[in-house]
Structure 1
Amino acid sequence: MYRLLNIELHKLKHSRSSKILIITYFVLLTSIALVAAIKFDIGPIKFHLAEMGIFNFPYVWHFNSYISAIFKLFLAIVIVSMMSNEYSNKTIKQNLIDGLSKKEFILSKFYTVILLSVVSTLFLFVVSLILGLIFSSYTEFSIIFSDLEYLLAFFIKLVGFFSFCLFLGILVKRSAFALGFLFVWQFIEGIMFGILRWKTNPDIASDIMRFFPLNAMSNLIKEPFTRLSAVQSVANQIGEKFNFDYAIHWYEIAIVMGWTALFIFLSYLLLKKRDL
């Protein structure tokens, strides 16, 4: 494992574009802290996001996991470019000539996916913990470390999404086309959801769509905004009530893990049958 991972890290180390994208990604994760600085007053109305409780424990784990997942596209570009460079620079052929099997080649990429996901999750944990300790109204040990399942969901979501990008990179070979296909697939899932809602009803449509890859990954971490106490308080005043399910469910994790395994297997199958 270490040998395979070391090969990929060596390639990333000597890729200027990959280094810029990775650094940008982690800078954006850190920029979540800037939300705490958003503060302005309009007459009697005082608006300070940090004081609204977005960094309160345990809500901070949910909020930061959801927001951070938006930035995953930067690492997705790295994953896709990593594969397209293998073909354009013919390093994939050289690796196989040097004795690396096709299975080991795919594993080296998958180990890189896992490493990037682990580092991202740990980084998010540290940033969220610091923000929570600074701004949270609740600092009891049991409260701080509750709801950490959102970090697990964040990790599973990244692994699944990057595995999909890895598969597309192998399937299409060109990074621009692979990323284009990613957006097209997102559009296809949206169209299918619309058709299902039209032909059936919203509940049945949602139940079916939860098995589609991008939708399954999206469902892992639901939007956290309606969970915020300030938002619920305003909603109650105008007669609205939010009864959403914000929990992380085992079957949602299982669906994404199933897609992850399928993407890696299909990547290996493609590489095995393809004449390089």
Structure 2
Amino acid sequence: MKRLLNIELQKLWQNTSSKVLIITYFVLLSFIALLASVNFKIIGIDFRLADQGIFNFPYIWHFNTYIADTLKFFLALIVVSMMSNEYTYGTLKQNLIDGMSKKEFIQSKFLTVLVFALGSTLFIFFMSLILGYSFSSYTEASIVFSDLGYISSYFLKLTAFFSFCLFAGMLVKRSAFAIGFVFLWYIVEGLLFLLLRWMIIKDSVITNNIVQFFPLQSISSLIKEPVSRFQAYKAIENLNNGGIVTEKFYGTHWYEFAIAIFWTAFFIFMSYRILKKRDL
């Protein structure tokens, strides 16, 4: 496995575009720390975000992983182009001629996906620890690590999404079209949701129970939005609803993990099947 991973990492690092995207991605991730110094002025009142509790433990695990997830498309571009370049430059055929099996080829791509997901997860983990201990009002170990499940959800979310991008790159072969395929899938799932919700089933609960099995929706649901969990938001909601606050579950259910793992395995398996049957 080490040999396979080394081959892929050498390919990526020798590609200027991939190198720039990787560096840009981690630089942008570090910009989350800049939120600590952002000042807002509302109705003549100045306030700093860091002073409003966004970096408090354990809330920071939820907030940082959700914000960092929005930047995953930088690495997604690398994953898609990583697959497309194999066809463009003929390196796929050369690898197979040199003795690499098709199974090993897919394994090498999936190992790279895992490295991207793990690298991003570790970066967010350590950055969150630093920001939390710098700004959090609570630093007891029992509080600091109480919501650490968001880190595992973040890792799985990246792994599943990058596996989907790998499948798209394998299926379409051209990076621009593969990226378009990813966004088209987002649109299709959105349209299916609207059809089910307003024209076919017309019931929000049943519709949500169905769409949670959609590939991208299942991946997205691993980390739910953290804004309504914010104390300032709750205060506004409490004011608008006359003191009635709706309780919401912000964690990840076991079956949401299971669905995302299923789709991850499915996309990797289908990538292998496509490669196995394709005439190179």
| Aligned counterpart, 1:185 | 185
Q: Distance in 1 between matches of 2:60 and 2:3?
A: 37
Residue type of the alignment partner of 1:193: F
Q: Report the counterpart of residue 237 of structure 2 in structure 1.
A: 235
- Which residue does the alignment assign to 1:120? 120
Matched, 1:195 2:195: yes
CA distance in 1: counterparts of 2:138 and 2:51, whole angstroms: 13
Q: Does 1:142 align with 2:142?
A: yes
Measured in 1, the distance between the counterparts of 2:228 and 2:85 equals 42
Residue in 2 that maps onto 1:163: 163
Quick one: which amino acid aligns to residue 99 of structure 2?
A: G
After superposition, the C-alpha distances for 1:26-60 in whole angstroms (9 at most, x for unaligned) are 11110001111111345652221111100000000
Specify whether residues 93 and 136 from structure 1 end up closer, same or farther in structure 2 by C-alpha distance, changes over 3 A only.
same
Q: Give the Cα separation in 1 of the matches to 2:90 and 2:264.
A: 26
Aligned to 1:252: 256
Which stretch shifts more, 17-26 or 42-51?
Answer: 42-51
The code of the aligned residue for 2:256 comes to E
SS in 2 for 1:46: strand
Mapped partners of 1:270, 1:225: distance in 2 = 41
* Structure 1 segment 1-276 matched on structure 2, within 5 A: 1-42=1-42, 44-198=44-198, 199-200=200-201, 201-239=203-241, 241-276=245-280
Task: Give me the CA root mean square deviation.
Answer: 1.0
Distance in structure 1 (CA, Å) of the matches to 2:247 and 2:35: 27
Superposed displacement of residue 13, structure 1: 1.2
Taking the aligned partners of 2:79 and 2:121, their CA distance within structure 1 comes to 17
Separation of aligned partners in 1, 2:161 and 2:176: 17
Q: Indicate if the aligned counterparts of 1:161 and 1:217 stay in contact, CA closer than 8 A.
A: yes
* Structure 1 residue 242, shift from structure 2 partner: 3.2
Shift of 1:244: 1.6
Between the aligned partners of 1:173 and 1:206, the Cα distance in structure 2 is 33
In 2, distance between residues paired with 1:12 and 1:116?
Answer: 12
- What are the Cα deviations for residues 255-275 of structure 1, in whole angstroms up to 9, with x where unaligned? 000000000000000000001
Letter in 2 for 1:235: E
Structure 1 residues 168 and 135 mapped into 2: Cα distance closer, same or farther (>3 Å)?
same
Report if the CA contact (8 A) 1:80-1:166 is conserved. Answer: yes
Segment drifting more, 141-150 vs 235-244: 235-244
Gaps spanning 5+ residues in structure 2: where?
Answer: none
AA partner of residue 184 (structure 1): L
How far did 1:237 drift?
1.9
Contact 1:57 1:136 in 2 (8 A): yes
Query: Bigger shift: 93-102 or 229-238?
Result: 229-238
1:138 and 1:264 map into 2 onto residues whose CA distance is 41
Consecutive aligned runs of 4 or more in structure 1 exceeding 3 Å deviation = 40-44
The amino acid of 1:265's aligned partner reads: F
Counterpart code for 2:191:
I
**SS in structure 2 of the partner of residue 147 of structure 1:** coil
Amino acid at match of 1:38: V
Deviation string 1:220-257 (CA, Å, 9 cap, x unpaired) is 00000000112111211222523221011111011000
Whole-Å separation in 2 of the counterparts to 1:37 and 1:220: 29
Q: TM-score, normalised by structure 2?
A: 0.97
Quickly say closer, same or farther: Cα 1:273–1:42, change in 2 above 3 A. closer
| TM-score after normalising by structure 1 | 0.98
Deviation at 1:216, TM superposition (A): 0.3
Counterpart residue identity of residue 238, structure 1: N
Provide the C-alpha distance between the structure 2 equivalents of 1:42 and 1:179, rounded to a whole number of angstroms.
Answer: 39
SS state of the match for residue 150, structure 1?
A: helix
